[in-house]
Structure 1
Amino acid sequence: MTDWTPELLLGLDERALVEYPILACRVHRQMLDPLLFLAERAACAGFILKVASSYRSFDRQLLIWNNKARGLRPVLNDTGEAIDINTLSARDKVFAILRWSALPGASRHHWGTDIDVYGSAHTDPEYQLQLTLAETQGDGPFAEFHRWLSDELAQGNSDFFRPYAQDRGGIAPEPWHLSYAPLATVFSRQLTQELLREQLEQTDLELKQVVLDNLDEIYSRFICVD
């Protein structure tokens, strides 16, 4: 049985995490061996799997959200280009931010089960990672790695999956985002709208009232992806 607490679901409990410096990541302890196995499979295929992002706390996600809402951090449109959020209504600001950034308390990165990955075998060491679709497609620097990863996942060689593989009108496609199914599917079911609302109500969140007024739609479009 997988143990969980409300604090773990919300990114407020780090006791289940372990740090793995070689991959520069912090993940749930039950996910480390499967991640190392995936990295070994990648190495056998000629790729060096790297982790761009792993565990992210509630406070870190809150900082990202608030900075975007205040115009201190770029907010992107569907094609990944920065937009001027000052031209948007408060509601449109919320949904524009949600397209690429999770609501604090609702990020899958809170659980230690989700990572953003890329393959670096054929990349200039000076290259600045952007995590854009262009990097994963065509002749993008990580396209070959992602083609291999797609085959690997399709063949069922790991318990990872891409929760944002397709555009369902919520979070934009993120082929680099992997989720460890045996844990993440359990945690996803436990993260209720009521639990999230209770946390947000006591949080200094920019655009909070707009978020709370639209939480039903936000929950169904951006959080319930499994």
Structure 2
Amino acid sequence: MTKTASTLERAAMGQDESALAPLGEGVYLHGDVIEPYRALVKAAQAQGFELSIASGYRSFARQLAIFNAKARGERAVLNDAGDTVAMDTLSDLDKLWAILRFSALPGTSRHHWGTDMDVFDRAAMPAEYQLQLTPAECCRGGVFAKLHEWLDDYLPGSLFFRPYRVDAGAVAPERWHLSYAPTALEFSKQLSPERLARVLAAADIELKNVVLENIPTIYQRYVCV
């Protein structure tokens, strides 16, 4: 990565797309990740899997739209059991924690970097199957269980890893979320509570007051993982 500091800072927040490259089907990844990802796909293919990306790069604007829709009640917020949270019964602070369990705050999503991706096994999907990206799909008996069992063995010897492998009490585990470590590490160095607060203060974000009041906690619990 040879970008200037200011470009890296903006890219870390999902506000600069100059380092992205198209992968096909509307999916973009950081240019440094394209070939390693293709090698991962080839290794999976040799085992009978059709490893595919459901979500790659996601901009700040897109993450903001998702967050705002959930905060306004226009998009469902789910709990760990997969049930819809009754957001209208919660305080603004509890609304924030409920959203952040499964959706990153704009400016904090690893998808901003183009280094992270949500994957699935296209070959394992029955006809008309609707992809959900839920724990049930990835666990024993789930439609993508075999892919993830293979990844359990393959990832430790590769440069990809699962950043949300375990439940630390904040971000929910996501076995389907993979990250390319070398490039992701460079982006993670660009983040800070102060930079995040500055970007969000200038954004048209719902729950802005409670978000800004809790930046240190958000950063510690949901970013430094």
TM-score normalised by the chain length of structure 1: 0.95
Q: Show the counterpart of 2:175.
A: 175
After superposition, residues 2-41 of structure 1 pair within 5 angstroms as 3=3, 5-21=8-24, 24-41=26-43
* Pair 1:71 & 2:73 matched: yes
> Structure 1 residue 120: deviation in Å?
2.2
- Per-residue displacement from partner, 1:51-72 (whole Å, max 9, x unpaired)? 0000000100000000000000
Q: Show the counterpart of 2:94.
A: 92
Q: Within 1, Cα distance between the matches of 2:152 and 2:189?
A: 25
Task: State the SS of the aligned residue for 1:82.
Answer: coil
* Pair 1:121 & 2:123 matched: yes
Q: Show the counterpart of 1:50.
A: 52
Q: Within 2, Cα distance between the matches of 1:99 and 1:191?
A: 20
Counting aligned pairs with the same residue, the percent is: 53
Conserved in 1, the CA contact under 8 Å of 2:136 and 2:142? yes
> Structure 1 residue 24: deviation in Å?
4.7
Conserved in 1, the CA contact under 8 Å of 2:8 and 2:187? no
Moved more, 158-167 or 2-11: 2-11
Q: Show the counterpart of 1:135.
A: 137
Change in Cα spacing, 1:42 to 1:63, as seen in structure 2 (3 Å) is same
Runs of 4+ that moved beyond 3 A: 1-4
Gaps of 5+ in 2: none
Conserved in 2, the CA contact under 8 Å of 1:164 and 1:173? yes
Conserved in 1, the CA contact under 8 Å of 2:63 and 2:104? yes
Change in Cα spacing, 1:115 to 1:150, as seen in structure 2 (3 Å) is same
AA in 1 matched with 2:41 = A
Q: Within 1, Cα distance between the matches of 2:26 and 2:69?
A: 25
> Structure 1 residue 2: deviation in Å?
5.1
Q: Within 2, Cα distance between the matches of 1:137 and 1:89?
A: 33
TM-score normalised by the chain length of structure 2: 0.96
Task: State the SS of the aligned residue for 2:64.
Answer: helix
AA in 2 matched with 1:57 = S
Conserved in 2, the CA contact under 8 Å of 1:2 and 1:183? no
AA in 2 matched with 1:18 = A
- Per-residue displacement from partner, 1:173-212 (whole Å, max 9, x unpaired)? 0000011100111211221111111000011100011011
> Structure 1 residue 170: deviation in Å?
1.3
Conserved in 2, the CA contact under 8 Å of 1:137 and 1:143? yes
Quick one: which of 144, 147, 155 aligns to 1:145? 147
> Structure 1 residue 119: deviation in Å?
1.1
